[in-house]
Amino acid sequence: MTNYLNNPASLFSVSGKVAVITGATGAFGSMAAELMSASGAKVILAAGNKVELENIAKRCQAYGNGVETVALRPDREESCDAIINAAVDKYGRVDILIVGSGKNDKAKIGEMSTERFLDVMDANVTQAWLIAKSAARQMEQQGEGGRIIFMSSIRGILGAGHGYTAYCASKSAIDGITRALGCELGASGITVNAIAPMVFRSKLTAWMFEDTDFAKEVRNGTLMRMPKGRLSEPEDLAGPLIFLASKASDFYTGHVLYVDGGYTAN
């Protein structure tokens, strides 16, 4: 092991690494894309919206470290293989997978159709499993380890009384996959972890940050349990993400890292 004390900051370096990011047009995915690019990584950005994908790519290109886009969602095994193969064809390898794709669909159980429930499970669980499968296969072939990072939520361990049965179930499943894959891939030097935030600003949660009476009521009720006293921004996830993507987390695998302002501790 190299003497990290000569350059402690090097523990958190991803410079020269190849990072694949799904859901790259979402609030978390776009933050991850720019963070990896600004930190010296080459990025492959995958999402279904080609126009938004190109906009994110332009921001990443400003850092000059290499950007490739794939206008695909990880919704089929063939699509996942195509996303990973795009990274290999362009840069010869895959070092980091960041799974930012997913969705929510809120409805009380009596009002939610089976199709809607399964759609959430597919987007959040099956698609995450599929892209991890493709990435893990490539990383094992390379024989030099790697990083797989899922997006979980505090709702993986906490319920919610406003139509979250599908979402909570999906994030609990992600937590299980994280632990199981961490065990399965450990011998190959591949770490598997998940980031679990509380509410952070995105298109889906923007209403909670507004100045309406309803938003204030919901927000104040949430903040009563948050020691940090505020809702979070995507940037609050940047530090934990760099930790999980870098050498700093070499001995950290199979874990769910709660980035929630203390919500789950209270």
- Residues designated catalytic: 167
Cβ distance 72 to 25 under 8 Å? no
Nearest to 146 by CA among 105, 190, 197, 102: 190
Cβ distance 36 to 13 under 8 Å? no
Cβ distance 188 to 142 under 8 Å? no
User: What is the spatial distance between Cα 250 and Cα 11, in angstroms, rounded to a whole number?
Assistant: 9
At 146, list the tokens: 């790697």
Cβ distance 74 to 50 under 8 Å? no
